[in-house]
A and B are shown apart, each in its own frame.
Chain A
Amino acid sequence: MVMGEKKVTVALVGNPNAGKTTIFNNLTGARQHVGNYPGVTVEKKEGYRKFNDKEFFIVDLPGTYSLTAYSLEEVITRNFIVNDKPEMVIDIVDTSNLERNLYLTVQLLELERPAILALNMIDVANSTGLKIDDSKLSKYLGGISVIRTNGVGNEGMENLLESISKTNNNRNFSSFRLNYGKEIEAAIQNLEPLLTPLYKNIQFPTRWLALKLLENDTDIIESVQGLEGAQQALQMSNELRRELLRELGEDVEVFIAGQRYQFVGKVYQHAVDSRNVNAETISDKIDKFLTNRVFGLPIFFALMWLVFNLVFTLGAIPSDMIDAGFGAFGSYLDGIISDGPLKSLIVDGVVGGVGSVLVFIPSILLLFLAIAILEDTGYMARAAFIMDRVMRRFGLHGKSFIPLLLGFGCSATAMMGTRTLENPRDRIITMLVSPLMSCSAKLPVYTILIAAFFEEKIAGNVLFSIYLLGIILAMIMAWVFRTTLFEGESEPFVMELPPYRVPTFKSVLIHMWERSTLYLKKAGTIILAASILMWFLTTYPKDIEYAKDYDGLLAMAEEAYSEQVVKEVLLPLSIEELSENAKVATLVDVIQQEEESFLEQTKELEESSSEYSVLMAAKEQKKQQLEKENTEVYSYAEKYITLTQSLEENKANIGNEKSGENLEKSYAGQFGKAIEPAIRPLGFDWRIGISLVSGVTAKEVVVSTMGTIYSIGDGNENASSMTKALQKDEHMNPLVAYALMIFVLIYSPCLAALAVMKRETNSWKWPAVSFVYSTTLAWIVTFLIYQGGKLLGFGS
C-alpha cells in the first residue's frame, strides 16, 4: 500500500446464514469457517482485498436479524457500524428469503452509512421461480446499489468490488427515509433539535438516535447519558414515549417495528414477483422425511452412529501407520543420541508424549469431515430443530443446540458460541453443560482405550455409547440447573431452516484444514509443553532410595546364568567357550535367526489367526529338520538359547521394576499415590490419576501423559506402542478402560475452556462451579458404572 493511502473499511452485514462468511472468504482469500446454519460467526473477522489500486479492509460481522441490542452478536454488529463507522456497509441478503432479510436492510439504511445490497444465493432464488426487479428494489430503498451474488459459486464478486469502489468514490449516501406516521414523525421532529448538539461527541445520525430513544433502547440511552445536554433530550424522549403510548395504544418499539414490517411488505410486493414460486421445494420434500416427528430423532441418532463407526474403523488404518512411524522414529533417536537426561526427555517425553497424540490426526480429520458434510448440507440446522423438542423438555433453549454442536469440536468454541443466546440464564446453562458434549480432544483417549480393550466389531458402538452418554448427561444436567439454579421457562426457539445444498469440496477442505492445523499447533505448543513438564515430574527427583538393590540383582542374574551355561552346556561338550565348538555356535545362530524372523513376521498377528498357525507350523518343521541334521548337539544349542532368553527376560524384569519404582517415587508418582485412595473406587491406579490431573490442561494430555508414563515405566527407553503397553498393564481391563472413558468424558473442562468461560461470564464463579460439578458428576457416574460392572462380573 502506498504511504498515506487510506484503507476503505467495508463491513459485511446480514441475517444469520445469509452467506456473509462465504463472501468474506471469496473477497479476502481467507479460510474462515462457514456453515449452512445460523450463528457460525460470533466474532467479527477481518481481512484485506486490493482492487483497482484501492485497499479494502473487510470486516465480516456476526449475523443478526435486527439492530436492536438483545443478543451479543447484535451488539457486536451494531457497535461496529455505529462506533467504527465503516466507509461502506454491504448488506448481504438471502434472496430466497428476501422479505424477512429486508427488515435489517431498512435498519441499516437508517444508520446513514453508504451501503450496497448484495442479493446473495440468487441461484437458489432463481431455482424457486422468484423474479426480482433490481431497479425497483433500489428505488424503494433510496437508490442503494443492488448487486446479484452467489457466494458458494464465487459469482458476482467482481461486480461487488466494482460497486464498492464506485460508491465509495461518489460518497453518495442513500436518501432513504421511512415515514413512521404523523405521531412518530412529530415526536422525532421534537427530539432532533435537542440531539443535534450531541452529534459532535457521539456522531450518531440524529434521526436514528431519536428513533432509538423513542424505542427506549437501553444500550443507546446508556451511551448518551453522560453527555452534556443529554438529560434534557432523555427527559423529553420519556415524555414523548408516554404520550405516544397513549395515542398509539401500543408500545412505541412494537409500533415502530410494525411500521418497518409494513414498509418491507410493500417493497417486496412491488419489486418481487413470486407468482411462479414453487409451492414445495426439494428441501421441503427432504424435510418431510428427515424432520419427521416419528423418524426425525432415530435418523439423527443413526447418522451419529454411522459417523462414529466410520471415524473409528477408517481412522484406525492410517493411525496404525503413524503409530509405527513414531515407534521407528523413537528407536532411531534412541540409537543416535548419547545416554543421558536429554535423550530420555526427547524419546520418552517428547516422542512418547506428543507422538501418542499425533497418531490420532486421521480420526480427528474424519470426525470433522463428517461434521463439515452434515453442516454444509444443511442437516445440522435440522438436527437443532429435531433436538429442540427433546431439549425443551429438559429446560434447554433450542438455540443451545448450535453451541452444543460446536462442543463436539471444542468446548471453548462452544462457550463462545453461546453468544447467540439472548437470555443470560440460557447462556450459563449451555456453557455449563457444553463440555459434556465430547470434544475432539477426548477422541484420542477413547480411540486408544477402545483399540486396546475392545473387539473391532464393537469398537464403533462403544465410541457411540460414550458420545450418547454425554448428550444424555447434558440434558439431565440442564434440567437440574434449570430446576435449581436457574428456575424459569426457556424462551421460544425460532430458527430458519436453510435450503439443502451439496457441500462444496473447497468448504469441506477448508474445514478439515482448519481443524488439522489447529490440532498440529496444539500438539506443537501446549501438548509439547505439558509433555515436557510431565517428563520432569515423572523423572525427578533422581536421588531416591530404592527398596531393592537392582544392580546387585542384575549381577546375581548374570552370575547364575554363567554358572548354568558352564554346567549344562560347556562342561558336557568339554569346551570353555561356545565358539570353540563351531557346529553348536552355528546352530545357535541359525535357531536364533529363525526365532527372530518368526517374531518379526507374527508381531501384527493374533495367536488364534490361521496365518499365525501356518507360520508356527513352519517354524516347528524347520526346528525338527535342524534337530534331525544335528542330533548329537541340538539339545545343547537349545539349552543355551533357553538360558540366554531367560537371562534377557530377568534383566528386563529387573529394569522394569527399577523404572517402575523410579516413577512411583517421582514427584508425579508421589502425587498420584496421594490421590489414589480417591480414585481407587473407580478402578483407577495412581498412573491414571496423574494422567487425569494433567489432562485438565488439555484433554489430549491424558494420552500424552500416559505415553510418557508407559514409556518411562517401560525401562528399555524405546517408545513402544501405547496400545500394547496398556494391554500388558495388569491394572487395566475393559471395565476400567470404559470407566476411564466415562470419567474423561465428564470431568472438568480443560483450562482453555475454563478461561474462556471466565472471560465470557466475566466472573470466576462459573468456571469454579463448572470444575466442581463436572468432576463430582464424573466421580459419581464412573463409580456407578465401575462398581455396577464389577457386580455383574465384568472387569476380571
Chain B
Amino acid sequence: MQTTIVYIIGALAVAYFVMTIWKKVKGQGSCCSSGGCSGCGSIDKCR
C-alpha cells in the first residue's frame, strides 16, 4: 500500500515539474495575438 502511494506521489511530482517548465517557456498562453496583451506577460506578439 505504502509503495503504491509513493509511486502516485512520484508521478504527480513529475507531472507538476513538466507542466511548470512548459508554462514558463510558453508564457501564459497566446493571448497577445488578439485584443492586446491582457496580462499574458508575453511581449513578443504585442507589436
Please determine whether chains A and B interact with each other in the same assembly: yes
A interface residues (Cβ-Cβ under 8 A, vs B): 43-44, 46, 72, 75-76, 79-80, 83-84, 219, 222-223, 338, 340-343, 345, 419, 525-526, 528-530, 532-533, 536, 697, 751-752, 755-756, 758-760, 762
Q: How far is the CB of A264 from chain B (nearest CB, A)?
A: 28
| Residues in A whose Cβ lies below 8 Å from that of B6 | 341-342, 345
Interface contact B10-A533, CB-CB below 8 Å: yes
CB-defined contacts of A345 to chain B, threshold 8 Å: 6, 9
Q: Which residues of A sit under 8 angstroms from B35, Cβ to Cβ?
A: 83-84
Task: Say whether B13 contacts A44, CB under 8 Å.
Answer: no
Task: Name the distance in Å between B2's Cβ and chain A's nearest Cβ.
Answer: 4
Shortest CB distance A386–B (Å): 30
Q: Are B42 and A46 in contact (CB under 8 A)?
A: no
Q: Can you report 18 residue pairs joining A to B where beta carbons are below 8 Å apart?
A: A46-B38, A75-B43, A76-B37, A341-B6, A525-B16, A528-B13, A530-B17, A532-B9, A533-B10, A533-B13, A533-B14, A697-B17, A751-B21, A751-B24, A755-B24, A759-B26, A759-B42, A762-B44
Q: Say how far B12's CB is from chain A's closest CB, in angstroms.
A: 8
B25 touches A755 (CB 8 A): yes
A76, A83, A533, A756: the one contacting B17 at CB < 8 Å is A533
Residue of B nearest to A46 (CB): B39
Q: Chain B: which residue is nearest A223 at the CB level?
A: B47
Tell whether, in the assembled complex, residue A43 and residue B41 are in contact, meaning their CB atoms are under 8 Å apart: yes
Nearest CB of chain B from residue A699's CB, rounded to whole Å: 15
- Closest approach, in angstroms, between the C-beta of B47 and any C-beta of chain A? 6
List of A residues within 8 angstroms of B36 by Cβ: 79-80, 83-84
Residue of A79, A222, A529, A756 near B24 (CB, 8 A) is A756
**What's the minimum C-beta distance from B20 to chain A, rounded to whole angstroms?**
6
User: Is there an interface contact between A529 and B17, defined as CB atoms closer than 8 Å?
Assistant: yes
CB contacts (< 8 Å) of B3 on chain A: these are 340-342
Nearest Cβ on chain A to B10's Cβ, whole angstroms? 5
Closest to B25 in A: A755
| Chain B residues with CB under 8 A of A536 | 10
Contact present for A75 and B47 (CB under 8 Å): yes
Q: Is the CB of B27 within 8 A of A759?
A: yes
A698: nearest chain-B partner, CB-CB: B20
Cβ contacts under 8 Å, B21 to chain A: 751, 755
The residue on B at minimum CB distance from A339 is B2
Give the chain B neighbours of A756 by CB distance below 8 A. 24
- Identify the closest chain B residue to A762 (Cβ): B44
Contacts of B38 in A (CB 8 A): 46, 84
CA distance A532 to B11 in the complex (A): 10
Given known contacts A83-B36, A84-B35, A340-B2, A76 and B43 CB-to-CB distance under 8 angstroms: yes
Known: A43-B41, A84-B36. A525 touches B46 (CB 8 A): no
Residues of chain A lying within 8 A (CB to CB) of residue B9: 345, 532
B47 near A222 with CB under 8 A, answer yes
On whether the beta carbons of B2 and A529 are closer than 8 Å, the reply is no
Chain A residues near B26 (CB-CB < 8 A): 759
Residues of B within 8 A of A419 (CB): 43
Q: Are B47 and A219 in contact (CB under 8 A)?
A: yes
Complex: A345 Cα to B16 Cα, angstroms: 17
Which residue among B6, B9, B24 has the maximum number of chain A CB atoms within 10 Å of its CB? B6
- Which of A75, A528, A751, A752 is in CB contact (< 8 Å) with B46? A75
Task: Give the CA-CA distance A756 to B24 in the complex, in Å.
Answer: 7
B47 A79 Cβ-Cβ under 8 A: yes
B 16-35 to A, binary, CB cutoff 8 A, 1 in contact else 0: 11001100111100000001
CA distance A731 to B12 in the complex (A): 35
> What separation, in Å, do the CA atoms of A84 and B46 have in the docked complex?
12
B24 and A526 within 8 A (CB): no
- With both beta carbons as reference points, the residue of chain A lying nearest to B39 in the complex is identified as A46
| B-side contacts of A525, CB under 8 Å | 16, 20
Question: Considering the chains assembled together, what is the distance between the CA atoms of A79 and B45 in angstroms?
Answer: 11
Given contacts A44-B39, A526-B17, A751-B21, contact A76 B46 (CB under 8 A): yes
A44-B37, A76-B37, A530-B13 known, 7 other contacts, Cβ within 8 Å: A43-B41, A79-B37, A80-B37, A338-B2, A342-B5, A532-B9, A758-B25
Minimum CB distance partner of B16 in chain A: A529
Decide: A342 and B2 in contact? CB cutoff 8 A: yes
From A761, which residue of chain B is reached at the shortest CB distance?
B44
Complex Cα distance A762/B39, Å?
18
- What residues of chain A lie closer than 8 Å to B43, measured between beta carbons? 72, 75-76, 419, 760
B35 vs chain A, min Cβ distance (A) = 7
A526's partner among B5, B14, B20, B27 (CB-CB below 8 A) is B20
Determine how close the nearest CB of chain B comes to the CB of A563; give it in whole angstroms: 38
Q: Which residue of B lies closest to A82 (CB)?
A: B36
- State in angstroms the CA–CA spacing of A343 and B5 once bound together: 11
Instruction: List chain A residues, Cβ under 8 A from B10.
Output: 532-533, 536
Given contacts A43-B41, A76-B46, A222-B47, contact A529 B5 (CB under 8 A): no
B3 to chain A, nearest CB (A): 6
Residue of B with least CB distance to A45: B39
A759 in contact with B25 (CB, 8 Å): yes
Q: Which residue of A lies closest to B14 (CB)?
A: A533
Write out the residue numbers on chain B whose beta carbons fall within 8 Å of the beta carbon of A758: 25
For the complex of A and B, 9 pairs with smallest distance between CB atoms = A755-B24, A342-B2, A340-B2, A532-B13, A529-B13, A84-B36, A341-B6, A755-B25, A529-B16
